[in-house]
Structure 1
Amino acid sequence: MKVDLKKQLADYHPPNGRFELVTVPPRHYLMIDGHGDPNTSPVYAEALAALFPLAYAVKFVSKNLGRDYVVMPLQGLWWADDMTAFTTRRDKSTWHWTLLNLLPDWITPEHVDAARAAVAAKGAAPSTAVRLEVLDEGLCVQTMHLGPYDDEGPVLQRLHDEFVPEHGLSLHGRHHEIYLGDVRRAAAERLRTILRQPVQRS
């Protein structure tokens, strides 16, 4: 049976229009870092070209060993030296990011190494900058955002300036987005994005 983590993980189904508190356990991801506007930066395009061939190669390594799964959608950690670049100014040129692909917990470094060798043998984009790492977010505030990415600013501002302080919390860790819609196929108003922010009790 093919495993689909999107359906199995409860924190992949947040409410739309309100915030919820969830505890996210440590999870394994493929990760690659970069900086700049995702709409115009060649570094961003190169990161995607390295991340997803490796993600699919890992899937096929696992499938050949008898455990198949659905490759998870793109995710990203986002931050800036001045966080108003996210909430009010939306100055994407100042953004730092780490692109993520969630892996099942049975995937090992040896599986990733085998997949990396398979990608290299096919002459695909080099995946040497992609690493396997555990992300432990713990307590988080999240919501489902429906619509264009550029409309996220007011939602994030309410999260940062209203929900977090009103609930005795403070920001802790990097802003996390999970892209359940495909910007290449869906109209902007139909995009679904999980907005997640790690927090801690003040």
Structure 2
Amino acid sequence: MDKIDYKKVYSMLYKASAKKAAVVDIPTLQFIAIRGEGEPGSDLFTQSIQALYGIAYTISMSHANDDLQIPNFQRFVCPPLEGHWSTINGAEYDGVDQSVFEWELRIMMPEFVSEKYFEKARSIVSAKKNNPKFDEVALITRESKKHCVMMHIGSFDTEIKTFKTMETYVKENGYRRKSRDHEEIYLSDFRRVSSDKLKTVLAFEVGE
């Protein structure tokens, strides 16, 4: 049986164009998520990512685990890591001081993953691996919203150019950016791919 690939199911999001911005309706989805503050290269940030993937892979492989048999389970490809980025108390980011960052890291989960089985998966993986961040991971729901999206290819440090293109598109098409917060979907493993080849979907919420 083929696995569900949510990058194909929600292609309007995961396959955003690198040449042109677009406004899309993102449906209500659920995620496993963890919040934090400070530099994205910190040990806490890394531990948070490891905790998310530990739980996500435990759930995605639950069909092979007698202790975690999820009703209505369908095999699926583990979706990519995402991040919601803002600053503490709305502080202005000067391009240098990353300690002002406030973030929520998350990985999308199918509808059949209930709170009960999420907690069971978290318990199973936390018993095997020593990571203090497991207890901070939660199962959340993100309500349907309208976003401007565009693919950014290159270093995270050059995202501002893509955001400017997106903001111009929004204004020219009768929308407005609702806040300075933004979201990123990491289609490349930034630990293994050179910065000039990174593929990241950028998004921010818009209104009319």
* TM-score, normalized by the shorter chain, greater than 0.5: yes
Q: Is 88-97 or 26-35 further displaced after alignment? A: 88-97
1:30-41 correspondence runs (5 A): 30-39=32-41, 41=42
* Counterpart secondary structure, 1:69: coil
2:198 aligned to 188, 191, 194, which one?
191
Local SS of the residue matching 1:3: coil
Separation in structure 1 between the aligned mates of residue 92 and residue 204 of structure 2, nearest angstrom: 15
Question: TM-score normalised to the size of structure 2?
Answer: 0.85
Contact 2:21 2:165 in 1 (8 A): no
Structure 1 segment 19-98 matched on structure 2, within 5 A? 19-39=21-41, 41-61=42-62, 65=69, 67-80=74-87, 81-82=89-90, 85=93, 89=95, 91-98=97-104
- Residues 109, 63 of structure 1: alpha-carbon distance in 2 compared, 3 angstrom cutoff: farther
Q: Distance in 2 between matches of 1:178 and 1:63?
A: 28
Task: Tell me, in whole angstroms, the C-alpha distance in 2 between the residues paired with 1:62 and 1:95.
Answer: 38
Runs of 4+ in 1 over 6 A off after TM superposition: none
TM-score normalised to structure 1 length: 0.88
Structure 1 segment 64-143 matched on structure 2, within 5 A: 65=69, 67-80=74-87, 81-82=89-90, 85=93, 89=95, 91-126=97-132, 127-143=134-150
Q: Number of matched residues?
A: 197
Q: State the distance in 2 between where 1:198 and 1:107 align.
A: 26
The alpha-carbon deviation at position 46 of structure 1 amounts to 2.1
Select the residue among 149, 152, 170 that pairs with 1:145: 152
SS of alignment partner, residue 160 of structure 2: helix
State the AA in 2 paired with 1:31: A
Secondary structure (helix, strand or coil) at the match of 2:169 reads helix
Question: RMSD of the TM alignment (CA)?
Answer: 2.0
Determine whether 1:13 maps to 2:19.
Answer: no
2:171 aligned partner, one-letter code: P
Q: Specify every segment of 5 or more residues in structure 1 that has no aligned partner in the other structure, as ranges.
A: none
SS at match of 1:128: helix
1:90, CA displacement in angstroms?
5.6
Contact map agreement 1:19 1:141 (CA 8 A) in 2: yes
* Correspondent of 1:166 among 172, 176, 198: 172
Check whether the contact 1:19–1:143 (CA below 8 A) recurs between aligned residues.
yes
Unaligned runs of 5+ in 2: none
The alpha carbon displacement at 1:113 in A equals 1.4
State the SS of the aligned residue for 2:136.
Answer: coil
